A and B are shown apart, each in its own frame.
Chain A
């Protein structure tokens, strides 16, 4: 099992550019999450999904969109990147009935 994987690992964008972050899990988990982690702050939930074809907003959804077309994949899109979106992005997943979330290795995004 690869667990939770994220691509890319690093990315530099210019303001206004768009990109998609891919999260994939091979554990057949129903729930998937996108977080951002900024220095001196706790992780904050951007969007989440409770199953294939469903998504919902988290604490800081503005400027991001997501899709869960397949159970194993959860995509995070930035349509028009802003410097405030410079952060480390983590994807996580878990199965129903279990508290533990499994995190991916993260994507470090810099917007200049």
Chain B
């Protein structure tokens, strides 16, 4: 069973609207949680990285939150643009000193329509 579950699997939103993606994890111990954006046919690009002591981090119109007690994270996209159409991947790391044990979620595919 995957230790990182993302929901929804996909969603469609209208340009200018907001949306929130969810990530639940069971990875333990926990060091940091990352959100990546992956455009179709491209490699993932880092959006945010949060350690266990952080509960929110922003990158432009992207805001990630983390609740390490409930093992949940969310990624909020504000005022969506067509360029936000992509897959968003949640990644959890159990170790601070190395990352060969990263757990990747399967991603949420976001489609923004004009």
Residues of A within 8 A of B (CB): 4, 31, 33, 40-45, 48, 50, 56, 58, 90, 92, 94, 99-106
Contact = CB atoms under 8 A, between A and B. Distances in A.
Contact of A103 (B43, B93, B98, B105): B43
Interface stretch (B12-20, B44-52, B63-71, B75-83): B44-52
A101 B46 contact: yes
Given A42-B106, A42-B107, A44-B104, A106 B99 contact: no
Interface in B1-53: 2, 4, 32, 34, 41-46, 49
Interface of B: 2, 4, 32, 34, 41-46, 49, 89, 91, 93, 98-100, 102-107
Given A48-B100, A58-B100, A100-B49, A42 B89 contact: yes
Contacts, number: 50
Nearest to A103: B43
B94 to A, nearest CB: 13
Shortest Cβ-Cβ A-B pairs, 6 listed:
A42-B104, A103-B43, A43-B104, A100-B46, A103-B44, A99-B49
A50 B98 CA distance: 9
A99 B93 contact: yes
B91 to A, nearest CB: 8
A106 B106 contact: no
A4 B99 CA distance: 18
B2 A56 contact: no
A99 B99 contact: yes
B103 to A, nearest CB: 7
A103 B45 contact: yes
Contacts of A100: 34, 46, 49
A97 B99 CA distance: 11
Contacts of B32: 99
A101 B105 contact: no
A101 B89 CA distance: 13
A50 B100 CA distance: 10
Given A58-B100, A101-B99, A42 B2 contact: yes
